[in-house]
């Protein structure tokens, strides 16, 4: 057992910097905010490194199996002797890995933002939001309790909302932030119901107890699997609903519509939240509950697999047609998260069977590196060109040599060309799918080919294609991005290139025991060749500016238009909400409210008004009228007493 | 010629009372209304004296009440006239219909 108090500093340092910058920064030290935020993140990152070293090499293993260690636990709300909401720190391979990833990427983004957001008048607000996000995300990954994860889940959602809407003068950014919040909130409803079902069945909120009770043969498991609703057991329903929450955060079908719009936020935010960390929270959640999914509810795991595979293919097709570079990257993120999801979906529990789990976490790790890098490169390009549109770019390789090389490395990594990191994780995923489900494997291969195509379409269009035309005169003082932006690019490129060589299975596996996965050279030939084919097609079409892509698009007009319009999912949702829900539910209820409810109140008010209007004439102000009333009443009472008393 | 009995006195006082009421309700002049109130009070006085004399000849309660009522009537007349004078200063009139501002 390690002395755990200092682990608390990892989430608390960003939180303190959030408070400091958010409360005082704007007034007292607007210039130093970025430095404070970055330093606190750096400290967090160093502590995470120490924790990771201690966990993986010193105390984590007992008899070759990585343990789950509750390093800190505090009862926050006690409902009953069994059920309480705790705040705590759970250390296990995936949470330690996520601590590293989140602090590292967040640190890189903080450094990068110093250059990217330079001169922005609201930079202190930006840095306080970034710190808030980092705190929430760190709190999420170390949760010991399913309710703690829910609390931080919502905190992550709100900080994402704040950061997407950072440019609040832009109506599109405001709309995008609202959309992201509402869509994910809608999905979180499923998560909450799922939590309630799971905790009702297992009578606990604690992760470890919950997993233990729902995987071993106990009365809890029996009642959870026998209670049936619409043909599925309560456990399957609970897990599927929890997965729905995860799908909302991770932009899986059908909750993906917010992610492309979320690109309205500043680019570093897209890199941090909508590529590397927050959007993988759904994957992390499924991985956290993986034993329950795998052992007790294979149907729910199947849903995860198919949703993941389908989202992945779906997003890859759309990504081929988009022209906004950040949107292309957003769809590619969705596609890669689909990869992680279906890797979990096809995985089994324990031993060789658990390859998919390891592969998924591995891909999460490498994806965080290369996708953050891609976004940061895109940010550098946008910083230079002042446009998100592909068509405004081209021929930038001479003008931005560092960005060019790092972007190329990231593209090779995401495409899965050896020896870059994406190759190793993607091959493992495909291998796991191959052994378990051939249909999903086929979808995965197709997606991998499309990934190669659209990534290199992006690469060739930005850096080759036609020569760069606009603002030539300005280039003298507006060359490559500043050093604070280039440094994270270089560091991330380094890690994107080499992290694949880590023997990931040794540290992270479904049951904690080391999983030694050999590189299957004969298996990986085919996917690499397919990826190379995708690159070749992109090279042929986009290396030089020509009209072949245009012809191709015209040739496939119907399908191309559908993909360009993102398969009209947004329009479908708009139709359902505006056309059906508003008209059939909203308007009748509004009518009822306006006419029946308000009408009832108005009726009573006007009745009272009418009556008082009538009787106020009795108060005439004339003394003699009052005297008449008085005598009349007296006579009335007298008559009353005389005739009715006895 | 019969002796004057209780009924005669009660008839007189009832007449006096309703004459007072009638005057109070119909006269617009505030002084006249005050006089009508005095008529009402005096009819009550006659009642007290008559009941005292015919029903409880050995007691003086009715006479006491009458003396009190006469005293209070004097005080009341003073207050009422003060009010009337103030109203007169305000409206330059002692018509009761001019003083009808105190209403809704």
- Give the residue-averaged pLDDT of A600-623: 90
| Top-confidence residue, A563 or A607 | A607
Among candidates A616, A621, A624 on the partner chain, residue whose Cβ is nearest the Cβ of B25 = A624
What does the pLDDT look like over A315-366, one tens digit per residue? 998 888 888 888 889 999 999 999 899 888 888 887 777 888 888 898 999 9
Residues A72 and A464: their CA atoms lie apart, in Å, by 53
Long-range contacts of A617-626 (CB under 8 A, 24+ apart): A619/B103, A619/B104, A620/B100, A620/B103, A621/B99, A621/B100, A621/B101, A621/B102, A621/B103, A622/B96, A622/B97, A622/B100, A623/B33, A623/B96, A623/B99, A624/B24, A624/B25, A624/B26, A624/B33, A624/B96
**B51 belongs to a structural domain:** yes
Q: Cβ(A246)–Cβ(A283) under 8 Å?
A: yes
Distance from CA of A598 to the nearest CA of B (A): 29
pLDDT band at A469 (very low <50, low <70, confident <90, very high): low
Across the interface, whether the CB atoms of A623 and B101 are under 8 A apart is answered no
Mean pLDDT of A33-59: 88
Measured between CA atoms, how close is A608 to chain B, in angstroms? 16
Read off the pLDDT of each residue in A615-625 and give the average, rounded to a whole number.
86
**DSSP of A113-172:** HHHHTTT-TTHHHHHHHHHHHHHHHHHHHT-SBHHHHHHHHHHHHHHHHHHHTTSTTSHH
Structure tokens at A132: 């808030």
Look at residue A561 and tell me whether its pLDDT is greater than 90. no
Task: Report the distance separating Cα B22 and Cα B17, nearest Å.
Answer: 9
Candidates A624, A625, A629, A630: best to mutate against B (most CBs of B within 10 A) is A624
Residue B81 inside a domain? The answer is yes
Assess if residue B102 is contained within a domain: no
Where residue B58 sits, what CATH number does that domain have? 1.10.287.3510
A477 touches chain B (CB under 8 A): no
Question: What is the SS3 assignment for A393?
Answer: coil
List CB contacts (< 8 A) between A638 and chain B.
none
Which range of A71-85, A98-112, A514-528 scores highest in mean pLDDT? It is A98-112
Please report which residue ranges of chain B form alpha helices under DSSP H. 6-26, 30-55, 61-91
Nearest Cα residue to A489 out of A43, A26, A112: A112
Q: Does A638 touch chain B (CB under 8 A)?
A: no
Is residue A510 predicted with pLDDT exceeding 90? Answer: no
The residue of chain B with its CA nearest to that of A622 is: B100
Q: Torsions phi, psi of A69, nearest 5?
A: -110, 125
Residues of B with CB under 8 A from a CB of A: 21, 24-26, 33, 96-97, 99-104
Interchain pair B103, A620: CB under 8 A: yes
Q: Using one digit for the tens of pLDDT, what is the confidence trace for A102-147?
A: 999 999 999 988 888 887 888 888 889 999 999 999 999 999 888 8
Q: What is the DSSP letter of A199?
A: H
Instruction: Please give the full DSSP string across A482-541, using - where no structure is assigned.
Output: PHHHHHHHHHHHHHHHHGGGS-HHHH--TTSB-------HHHHHHHHHHHHHHHHHHHHH
Q: Which two tokens stand for residue A381?
A: 């390009």
Which residue is associated with the tokens 């933002």? Answer: A113
Interface test with B, best of A619, A622, A625 (most B CBs within 10 A): A622
Question: Shortest CB distance from B21 goes to which of A619, A622, A631?
Answer: A631
Cα–Cα nearest to A519, from A530, A511, A527: A527
Average pLDDT, chain A: 85
pLDDT tens digits for range A480-497: 677 788 888 888 889 888
Q: Which of A107-111, A310-314, A595-599, B96-100 has the lowest mean pLDDT?
A: B96-100
Cβ-proximal residues to A499 (8 Å cutoff; 6+ apart), any chain? A365, A366, A369, A421
Task: Compute CA A495 distance to the chain's CA centroid, rounded to the nearest angstrom.
Answer: 23
Q: Which helix (H) or strand (E) holds A599?
A: helix A598-615
Whether residue A284 contacts residue A219, with contact meaning beta carbons closer than 8 Å, is answered with no
Omega prior to A320 cis, within 30 of 0: no
Instruction: Please provide the size of chain B in residues.
Output: 104
A68 by DSSP, 3-state: which? Answer: coil
Residues of B in contact with A622 (CB under 8 A): 96-97, 100
Q: Which of A66-80, A505-519, A540-554, B84-98 has the highest mean pLDDT?
A: B84-98
Q: What is the SS3 assignment for A435? A: helix
Q: Is the pLDDT of residue A270 over 80?
A: yes
CB contacts, 8 Å: B25 with chain A: 624, 627-628, 631
Contacts of A620 in chain B (CB under 8 A): 100, 103
Whether the pLDDT of residue A476 is over 50: the answer is no
Output phi, psi for A628, to 5 deg: -60, -45
CA distance A614 to chain B (A): 12
Burial class for A551, CB neighbours closer than 10 Å (0-12, 13-18, 19+):
exposed
At residue A477 the predicted structure's pLDDT band, cuts being 50, 70 and 90, is very low
Note whether A619 contacts B: Cβ–Cβ < 8 A: yes
What percentage of chain A reaches a pLDDT higher than 90? 17
Contact criterion met (CB below 8 Å) for A484 and A114: yes
What pLDDT is recorded for position A152? 92
Within-domain flag for B60: yes
| N-terminal to C-terminal alpha carbon distance within chain A | 94
Q: Are A311 and A341 in contact (CB under 8 A)?
A: yes
Residue A564 has pLDDT above 90, yes or no: no
Give the count of domains, chain B: 1
pLDDT tens-digit profile of A393-419? 777 877 888 888 898 999 988 888 888
Instruction: For residues A25 and A43, give the distance between their C-alpha atoms in angstroms, rounded to a whole number.
Output: 19
Rounded Cα–Cα distance for residues B30 and B96 (Å): 6
Residue A563 has pLDDT above 80, yes or no: no
Query: What pLDDT shows up at residue A1?
Result: 47
Distance CA A381, CA A410 (A): 14
Q: Is the pLDDT of residue A2 over 50?
A: yes
Burial class of residue B76 in the structure, from the number of CB atoms within 10 Å of its CB (0-12 exposed, 13-18 middle, 19+ buried) = middle
Bridge partner list, A627: none
* More confidently predicted of A235 and A516: A235
Q: Is the pLDDT of residue A68 over 50?
A: yes
Contact between chains at B102 and A621 (C-beta distance less than 8 A): yes
Residue of chain A nearest B37, judged by CA positions = A627
Q: What is the pLDDT of residues B59-79, one digit of tens each?
A: 899 999 999 999 999 999 999
Average pLDDT for residues A589-603, to the nearest whole number? 92
Are A173 and A167 contacting, i.e. CB atoms less than 8 angstroms apart?
Answer: yes
Flag if A616 and B104 touch (Cβ within 8 Å): yes
User: Looking at the predicted structure, is the pLDDT value of residue B1 above 70?
Assistant: no
Beta bridge partners of A206: A145
Q: CA quadruple A158, A160, A163, A165: dihedral positive or negative?
A: negative
Which pLDDT value is given to residue B70?
Answer: 94
Percent over 90 (pLDDT), chain B? 65
Residue B99 included in any domain = no
Number of residues in chain A: 646
What is the per-residue pLDDT across A26-45, written as a single tens digit (0 to 9) for each?
888 888 888 888 999 999 99
Distance, in Å, from the CA atom of B76 to the CA atom of B38, rounded to the nearest integer, reads 10
Q: Where are the alpha helices (DSSP H) in A320-354?
A: 325-346
pLDDT for the residue A570: 79
Give the pLDDT band of residue A291 (cuts 50, 70, 90): confident
Chain A residue with CA closest to B101: the answer is A621
Closest C-alpha to A189, from A159, A139, A153 = A153
Angle at A376 between CA A288 and CA A569, to 5 degrees: 65
Is omega for the bond preceding A402 within 30 degrees of 0, making it cis?
A: no
Residues of chain A with C-beta less than 8 angstroms from the C-beta of B102:
621
Neighboring chain A residues of B26 at a CB cutoff of 8 Å: 624
What is the least distance, in Å, from the CA of A623 to any CA of chain B?
Answer: 7
Give the pLDDT band (50/70/90) at residue A479: low
Among the residue ranges A388-392, A534-538, B14-18, the one predicted with the least confidence is: A388-392
Chain B closest-CA separation from residue A639 CA (Å): 17
pLDDT per residue as tens digits for the range A431-459:
888 888 888 888 988 998 889 988 888 88
Q: What percent of chain A has pLDDT over 70?
A: 97
A615 in B contact zone (CB under 8 Å):
no
Whether pLDDT at A624 is above 90: no
Average pLDDT, chain B: 90
Segment A235-262 mean pLDDT: 88
| Confidence (pLDDT) at A519 | 67
Return the bridge partners of A145, or none.
A206
- Residues pairing with A228 in the sheet: A233
B103 falls within a domain: no
Cα A344 to the center of its chain, rounded Å: 17
- Residue B100 belongs to some domain of the structure: no
Q: What are the beta bridge partners of residue A594?
A: none
Q: What is the pLDDT of residues A628-646, one digit of tens each?
A: 999 999 999 999 999 987 6
Partners of residue B104 in chain A, C-beta under 8 Å: 616, 619
Range of the domain at B37: 6-93
Average pLDDT over residues A182-190: 89
Mutate to test the interface with B, among A609, A619, A623 (most CBs of B within 10 A): A623
- Which residue is listed with tokens 């799918």? A433
């Amino acid at each position: 057992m390690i002395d755990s108090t200092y682990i608390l500093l990892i989430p608390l340092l960003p939180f303190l910097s959030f408070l400091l910058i958010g409360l005082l920064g704007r007034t007292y030290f607007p210039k130093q905010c970025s430095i404070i935020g970055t330093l606190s993140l750096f400290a967090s990152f160093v502590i995470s490194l120490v924790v990771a070293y201690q966990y993986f090499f010193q105390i984590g293993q007992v008899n070759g199996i990585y343990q789950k260690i509750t390093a800190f636990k505090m009862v926050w709300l006690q409902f009953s002797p069994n059920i309480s909401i705790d705040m705590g720190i759970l250390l296990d391979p995936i949470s330690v890995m996520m601590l590293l990833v989140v602090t590292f990427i967040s640190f890189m983004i903080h450094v990068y933002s110093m250059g990217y957001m330079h001169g922005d008048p609201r930079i202190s607000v930006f840095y306080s939001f970034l710190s808030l996000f980092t705190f929430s995300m760190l709190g999420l990954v170390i949760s010991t309790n399913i309710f703690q994860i829910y609390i931080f889940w919502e905190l992550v959602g709100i900080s994402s909302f704040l950061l997407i809407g950072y440019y609040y003068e832009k109506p599109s950014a405001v709309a995008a932030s609202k959309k992201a919040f509402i869509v994910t909130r809608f999905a979180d409803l499923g998560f909450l119901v799922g939590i309630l079902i799971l905790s009702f069945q297992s009578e606990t909120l604690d992760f470890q107890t919950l997993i233990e009770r729902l995987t071993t043969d106990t009365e809890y498991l029996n009642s959870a699997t026998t209670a049936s609703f619409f043909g599925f057991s309560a456990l399957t329903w609970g897990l599927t609903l929890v997965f729905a929450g995860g799908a909302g955060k991770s932009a899986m079908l059908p909750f993906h519509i917010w992610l492309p719009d979320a690109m309205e936020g500043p680019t570093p935010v897209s890199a941090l939240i909508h590529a590397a960390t927050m959007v993988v929270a759904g994957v992390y959640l499924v991985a956290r509950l993986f034993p329950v999914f795998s052992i007790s509810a294979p149907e729910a795991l199947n849903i995860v697999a198919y949703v993941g595979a389908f989202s992945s293919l779906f997003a890859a097709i759309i990504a081929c047609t988009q022209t906004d570079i950040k949107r292309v990257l957003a769809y590619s993120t969705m596609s890669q998260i689909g990869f992680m999801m279906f890797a979990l979906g096809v995985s089994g529990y324990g031993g060789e069977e658990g390859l998919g789990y390891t592969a998924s976490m591995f891909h999460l790790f490498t994806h965080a590196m290369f996708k953050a890098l891609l976004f940061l490169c895109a940010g550098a390009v946008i910083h230079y060109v002042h446009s998100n549109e592909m068509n405004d770019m081209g021929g930038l390789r001479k003008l931005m040599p560092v960005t060019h090389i790092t972007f190329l490395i990231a593209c090779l990594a995401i495409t899965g060309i050896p020896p870059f990191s994406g190759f190793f994780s993607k091959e493992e995923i495909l291998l796991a799918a191959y052994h378990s489900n051939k249909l999903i494997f086929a979808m995965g291969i197709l997606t991998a080919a499309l990934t190669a195509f659209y990534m290199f379409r992006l690469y060739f269009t930005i850096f080759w294609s036609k020569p760069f035309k606009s603002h030539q005169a300005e280039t003298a003082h507006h060359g490559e991005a500043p050093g604070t932006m280039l440094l994270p690019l270089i560091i991330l490129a380094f890690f994107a290139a080499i992290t694949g060589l880590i023997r990931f299975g040794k540290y992270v596996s479904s049951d904690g025991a080391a999983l030694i996965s050999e590189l299957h050279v004969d298996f990986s030939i085919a996917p690499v060749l397919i990826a190379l084919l995708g690159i070749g097609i992109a090279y042929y079409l986009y290396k030089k500016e020509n009209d072949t892509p245009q012809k191709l698009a015209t040739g496939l007009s119907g399908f191309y238009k559908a993909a360009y319009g993102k398969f009209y999912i947004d329009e479908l949702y708009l139709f359902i909400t505006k056309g059906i829900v508003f008209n059939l539910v909203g308007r009748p209820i509004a009518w009822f409210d306006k006419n029946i409810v308000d009408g009832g109140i108005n009726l009573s008010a006007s009745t009272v008004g009418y009556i008082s209007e009538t009787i106020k004439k009795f108060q005439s102000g004339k003394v003699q009228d009052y005297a008449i009333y008085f005598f009349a009443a007296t006579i009335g009472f007298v008559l009353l007493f005389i005739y009715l008393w006895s | 010629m019969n002796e004057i009995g209780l009924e005669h006195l009660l008839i007189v006082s009832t007449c006096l009372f309703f004459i007072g009421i009638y005057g109070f309700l119909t006269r617009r002049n505030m002084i006249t209304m005050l006089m009508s109130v005095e008529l009402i009070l005096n009819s009550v006085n006659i009642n007290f004296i008559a009941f005292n004399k015919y029903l409880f000849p050995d007691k003086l309660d009715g006479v006491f009440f009458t003396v009190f009522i006469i005293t209070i009537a004097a005080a009341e007349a003073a207050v009422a006239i003060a009010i009337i004078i103030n109203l007169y200063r305000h409206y330059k009139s002692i018509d009761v219909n001019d003083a009808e501002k105190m209403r809704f």
